[in-house]
Structure 1
């Protein structure tokens, strides 16, 4: 009898795991076969190209004027987290107050991560501090390839989604996204072309999501939640 109960317990556990996996799959909105970035984006500049040399010179110049305050901001923005936009949306813009928005952005960020991981592996552009030993990043050195910048992609994607939720803050949200992305240059971990193409990726993903019914359903709930927390009227 005890053996039967144990078997039933493990069977129930397996069912729960399977159900959780199914839910996790449903929480995703975009896959690599739906958005073929390799055919939409320009390749990175060659390592020996004039453009790469100029971009390395820019990073060295930024490093020369980098202040402790700039380094602190770059370290804070190393987190790929939508709640870095609290600078614009206020102290109430937190995961604990916005569970629907938090869940939406976790799913979006995971989709974006998978897309960028695939294209980074395809192009394999070394990080600038690997090419130029005089560069000393002020954050932990990323182990992934450089091109395109995932942080810039996420920042632009988040700015588009959040500005669709709170159009009253559109300009400030995009300015914050630009600062978030620029901090990857300040940190010394990305070339400018990485950041520019990363922003293009964010816009491409946002365009796809705006046309996705599953995303729009989740978006509507998160938007209503956010506007209520910010004491803004419904849209």
Structure 2
């Protein structure tokens, strides 16, 4: 676990930490992807009015494909390591970590949002923390805006395509057309961890651990390569840095931070990996 001497106070620190983690995890696999917008609607979206929300950023805010560059070539050392990680982690089927990857697959109703509630020690939900919920939801919409062009441009196939070994979620048709690089789940998981750590700096270690775990669940699940997740983390941090330049984001962040500080303490037991 990475320990910080002081909480995040600038987006420079956000970007620096992400790059450091990417370098340190170069030989480890990771998780993180979103189903395409037409294939999925966030749970409780209607009740909260989330379907009427928009992200903070426009389509030209970040050039993700240039920032990231291409994914590793299959025959490169990194490409081979990606494939080896996928093959080795198929043996995790049925393990507790495999079960956690299944929970993490659903960002809203599964284990992903629950991880942050546990890490923050506060109940995060549309009812308990509507301002936090709104901010997170608008950030998820930005993930689609920022991440989709790079996905479409590089069009990397997911690791399980053409391979019948087990993955932790049902195989669906969209997996053949929704590209693997960068990981949308990793973008969401890491950007949420960073923004929540800014709101609750005393819980930085736990929140960043939750964000990392959500990314790691994607390679464990078998729906992404390790480098897909690392790219998602880099792009997610860049997205958050850019969002800090938007007045509406800053206004929503101030409300969310004040709300989280007063949110009900979480009393339920947290699931273990």
| The two structures share one fold, judged by TM-score above 0.5 | yes
- Kindly state the Cα deviation for residue 230 of structure 1 after the two structures are TM-superposed: 4.7
- Aligned match for 2:88, one of 39, 57, 61: 61
Partner secondary structure for residue 160 of structure 2: helix
Query: Residues of 2 paired with 1:192 and 1:177: CA distance?
Result: 15
Do the aligned partners of 1:104 and 1:222 also contact (CA within 8 Å) in 2? yes
Tell whether 2:105 aligns with 1:78: yes
Instruction: Show the 5 A alignment for 1:23-172.
Output: 24=52, 27-81=54-108, 83-84=113-114, 85-90=116-121, 92-131=123-162, 133-141=163-171, 143=175, 144-172=178-206
Give the Cα–Cα distance (whole angstroms) in 2 for the partners of residues 180 and 28 of structure 1: 21
Residue equivalent to 2:12: none
Q: For 2:241 and 2:71, locate their aligned partners in 1 and report how far apart those are by CA, in whole Å.
A: 23
Structure scoring higher RCO (CA < 8 A, sep ≥ 6) equals 2
Preserved contact between residue 151 and residue 181 of structure 1 (Cα < 8 Å): yes
The alpha carbon displacement at 1:24 in A equals 4.5
CA distance in structure 2 between the aligned counterparts of 1:63 and 1:149, rounded to whole angstroms: 19
Q: Cα RMSD over matched residues? A: 2.0
* d(CA) in 1 for partners of 2:220, 2:122: 26
Check conservation: 1:83, 1:95, Cα contact below 8 A.
Answer: no
Deviation sequence 1:99-132 (CA, Å, 0-9, x none): 111112111111111221221111100000115x
SS at match of 1:128: coil
Q: Secondary structure at the match of 2:213?
A: helix
Deviations 1:190-209 (A, max 9, x none): 11110111100111011111
Extract structure 1 runs of 4+ deviating beyond 6 A. Answer: none
TM-score (norm 2): 0.70
Q: CA–CA distance in 1 between the matches of 2:257 and 2:62?
A: 25
In 1: Cα distance, 2:95 partner to 2:164 partner: 19
Distance in 2, matches of 1:66 and 1:140, equals: 13
Q: Structure 1-normalised TM-score?
A: 0.81
Is 2:232 the counterpart of 1:198?
yes
Gaps of 5+ in 1: 1-22
SS in structure 2 at match of 1:75: helix
- Point out the structure with the larger helix share: 1
Partner SS, residue 68 of structure 2: coil
For the pair shown, the structure with the greater C-alpha radius of gyration is 1
- Aligned mates of 1:99, 1:192 — CA distance in 2: 33
